[in-house]
């Protein structure tokens, strides 16, 4: 892989901002999938063309025809390398999307836990043992504070 696909350094350079924004990761995934479709269309055009050129070319072709064959082969190899790199980018973006989604949901977790604790306290009419409930509320509050700074 002599040349990296343009999306590879772009994703790697912006990895931390991507971890913070699920919507941007989804947009990057959509772009990567579109580029994969474009690359597949390019391969679908180049591979049969190269096969036909090899089949029709006699053994002793002139230098110009040989150069065209070499250019076709290089184009096919480049498209195959781009496909491999795009698959790697999509794989990385799927993992980044999962982490960003988990991070987004983790920020909401303490609020949900506090709401559940308040609801349990209200429903029980203060009949719940307050010791475990207080610990639960304190842990939820600490989580809320810590995750709000992350």
Q: What is the pLDDT of residues 34-61, one digit of tens each?
A: 999 999 999 999 988 888 877 777 666 6
Q: What's the average model confidence in pLDDT over 113-138? A: 60
Q: What is the pLDDT of residue 131?
A: 59
Q: Helix 22-56 crosses helix 63-124 at what angle (to 10 degrees)?
A: 160
Whether pTM > 0.85 for this model: the answer is: no
Report the SS3 class of residue 54.
helix
Quote the CA–CA distance of 63 and 59 in Å, as a whole number.
Answer: 12
Quote the CA–CA distance of 41 and 48 in Å, as a whole number.
Answer: 12
Quote the CA–CA distance of 149 and 107 in Å, as a whole number.
Answer: 10
Beta-carbon count within 10 A of 85 CB = 20
Q: Are 35 and 86 in contact (CB under 8 A)?
A: yes
């Amino acid at each position: 892989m002599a040349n990296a696909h343009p999306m590879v350094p772009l994703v790697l350079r912006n990895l931390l901002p991507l971890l913070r924004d699920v919507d941007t990761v989804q947009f990057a995934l959509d772009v990567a999938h579109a580029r994969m479709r474009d690359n597949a269309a390019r391969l679908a055009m180049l591979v049969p063309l190269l096969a036909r050129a090899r089949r029709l070319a006699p053994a002793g072709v002139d230098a110009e025809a040989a150069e065209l064959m070499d250019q076709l082969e290089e184009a096919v190899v480049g498209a195959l390398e781009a496909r491999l790199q795009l698959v790697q980018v999509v794989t990385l973006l799927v993992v980044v999307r999962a982490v960003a989604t988990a991070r987004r949901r983790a920020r909401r977790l303490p609020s949900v836990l506090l709401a559940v604790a308040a609801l349990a306290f209200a429903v029980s009419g203060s009949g719940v043992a307050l010791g475990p409930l207080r610990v639960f509320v304190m842990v939820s509050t600490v989580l809320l504070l810590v995750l709000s700074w992350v």
